[in-house]
Chains A and B, each alone.
Chain A
């Protein structure tokens, strides 16, 4: 088949897929087995803040979840807790419980007072544990569970002659319990289809962790208990309420943090000698800048998702201003900022949050940046590097390249490199005006930098051209659709869901590529709640943690 024929065939397939998805009726899916997901660190922290308030410090380290199929949310569906992880959870539960019952917090967080603070008071303990346990477990506790936690509180109070110390033990037992740490979905028989369906409380948790990245609130729990989440209308009402809630921002932040691997900022470092402006404050602010830019564009302004690749509006702090080399009116706080029309920075991929994260500690990396654009923004998997690369041509001391383009030229001529690097390097080279910390530069080692590039057959001359090409690339919104859906479910996408994804693609386009609309489409779809007892048809559990040499 000639290249032209391949292009025509591909176009035909795209048109057919688009037409298939144009119908307004949601295609049927078979779903996948219900999930058991370990709370992520951000979910754990959000729940503690939502239940007890932000004054409770979650002081501890969490075992990292393995990023799987590109998402921590999928890894959480396969993760368990190691012995050292259990030790940490138990210690963390203890620390939180002790803070909750501490003198400065108990009056606001406990619904009752013991008759004698030096004695056990089972009634007061039960009242607190019943109310709190319902939020932590995302369901009402059984009489047995309440009795077990209350008995522990009584024993502890008697041993220590302190009601509150005993109550802390009862609360600790809830916070270290699997019912809290694992979001365990349960099913019931569906008499209409002779299959199974998610029960109401599991539906509530699915909605809450997707849209809020936290547990269901009391309103949602009650709706589930009344059976309102069994109907499309009931789900629709709750979804509208949740989309209007301030907690949606937390959910969107968590989603993009996972989709774009912004958690990697936790271990990002830059050489302070080479990049003295990029310290810890700048690194923290760079991550926050990316999230603020997204929230502003996609939630506050309700802009077209594709705009994020060309958008010049962002927010600035003093620490960031030094790296961007722009004046900042109020260095100590976040202030809105817009890059000039002739400024080379346009789009999220020209912000520090992308440029610095996908670079080495001491230099930029067109390869890492190109890989990130392919995999994170376009969902195009770049094969892992082969082990048999001949590096001798990189090591020619007679002709050391002064610019990255010159050094990477060998990638295009060495057969073992060319296949993959031509997917990455032409994208990353367009961002070479930004050094390893994301700072502007026009020359490298005295040589002017050539930032012409190409992506999927579209050539461009500068970083802004790359942004425009990304905004025009249908793979970009389709990527958001796929990854959002997989994130929402906490599992890989099933083969039986492909038509549904095409439907989502078309719906997203009809809705003007508005994020809120996409979230609504997913959260109110039948596919979102569909479960089966049949095994999954895709390979589960491929770790995404691999190197790029």
Chain B
């Protein structure tokens, strides 16, 4: 497996660049289009997480000649031509327990079943992609969560290296477009000088690596190595910032959403999701980052409606099934709102014009849940979608039936579509070398 340090060295090191650049070119649009500010359009990658899965029989139809979104997914119908839906892929656990609301997202994102509760045994897919392309923009990755709790994040290198989500639209704006961003020509020269001095600070810290490595044991050395690699990356990103200013005209369109409520009440979550989505699309369009993660709710969905005692998660277990309708009405209501939020996310990407198409056409969004049917904690048939054409590398509008194949096939296909040189992915029965060729161009 390609490591973070290898990629980093490849992208900025001496001789390794000759090997690294053709590979990194894979992350540019296959259509040869250019950004408004010049330079080819890059391909972006991101994830969109939701929990509590779908209501069986009310979300996606069984037919596989096309995607048939049903009542719960009605909001996705306008985008169906730009989505691939992957159903009936499984998560074989090889005798490991199903840690409820955890195992499912971990297998989907890491192709490895966690042995312990809370365990994240391998890097998540976004981390692998960011290792490859995250170093060439100001931010390696932008991670957001709409619940107000930075712990509700589904991106990690390991159990103890978790990327915390940004929870506040205002804070996200400050980070992306605040005073440290060269969002205007006037600011660019000051920012460049400042970036140079900040590079000096980081360079001095990076030089302490060898001294530290001599003082500590192997396990702790790996932890410090992660820290020093992050320092080096930040230094590199400052260099990128100085050399390649962002698309100031697009960046300047961002406005500060201001301080607002943060929490788990459904309308608050939706509002924060929408605000962060808008900032994210602008950040992608003006080349601040190429990788992102959005978590709409937490794994044990604590979404709630004002004045009601039950959360989304408790409803999936404790609400009675309406015998006439055949599902739990309140839990279903939440599921519908979640799919509406995904629709908002997709629409925001599809509104940003880029070359002859849209930002969505140059992006690959990997959207999935942590269970298929929350009422019974099922981790087989977890709903997974890819959204966007990845710069023309992915066909869309397809419903792919997995027939019980490991869910890791979807992740491997995604990474190969993006150009990562992976032949196989995963461990145990989740390991696969079979891509899903039907969706690859």
Contact = CB atoms under 8 A, between A and B. Distances in A.
A25 interface: no
A64 B156 CA distance: 13
Nearest to B140: A83
Interface string A46-64: 0000000000000001011
B161 interface: yes
A549 B148 contact: no
A25 B263 CA distance: 53
B198 A90 contact: yes
Contact of A182 (B99, B103, B224, B317): B224
A79 B223 contact: yes
Interface in A25-82: 33-34, 36, 61, 63-64, 66, 68, 75, 78-82
Interface in B261-311: 263-265, 299-300, 302, 304, 306-311
Given A544-B118, A547-B102, A81 B226 contact: yes
Interface string B221-243: 00110111011011000000000
A54 to B, nearest CB: 23
Given A182-B224, A274-B307, A541-B159, A82 B164 contact: yes
Contacts of B162: 63-64, 66, 82
A275 to B, nearest CB: 10
Per DSSP, are chain A's interface residues mostly helix, strand or loop, or mixed? loop
Contacts of A36: 216, 220, 223-224
Contacts of A179: 208
Contact of A86 (B217, B224, B231): B231
A44 to B, nearest CB: 15
Contact of A385 (B100, B234, B263, B306): B100
Interface string B90-105: 0000000111111100
Contacts of A5: none
Contacts of A269: 148, 263-264
A361 B226 contact: no
A278 to B, nearest CB: 13
B318 A394 contact: yes
A246 interface: no
B171 A61 contact: yes
B264 to A, nearest CB: 6
Interface in A80-94: 80-87, 90-91, 94
Contacts of A273: 306-307
B321 interface: yes
B308 A271 contact: yes
B358 interface: no
Contacts of A442: none
A19 B410 CA distance: 60
B325 to A, nearest CB: 13
Q: Give the residue among A33, A86, A91, A549 with the most B Cβ atoms within 10 A.
A: A86
Interface stretch (A169-177, A474-482, A508-516): A169-177
A361 B118 contact: no
Given A80-B224, A81-B230, A267 B148 contact: yes
Given A159-B193, A172-B201, A549-B317, A80 B226 contact: yes
A541 B160 contact: yes
Contacts of B47: none
A81 B97 CA distance: 30
Contacts of B54: none
A545 B321 CA distance: 30
B163 A84 contact: yes
Interface stretch (A102-110, A148-156, A369-377, A465-473): A148-156
Nearest to B116: A542
A372 B61 CA distance: 43
Contact of B317 (A155, A181, A186, A394): A394
Top 6 A-B pairs, shortest CB-CB distance: A543-B118, A546-B117, A387-B98, A273-B307, A362-B309, A86-B230
12 contacts: A61-B150, A79-B161, A80-B161, A169-B197, A169-B200, A176-B202, A271-B309, A273-B307, A394-B318, A543-B116, A546-B99, A546-B117
Given A178-B227, A271-B307, A391-B376, 11 more contacts: A61-B150, A66-B118, A79-B160, A160-B197, A176-B201, A361-B304, A363-B310, A388-B376, A394-B317, A397-B320, A547-B100
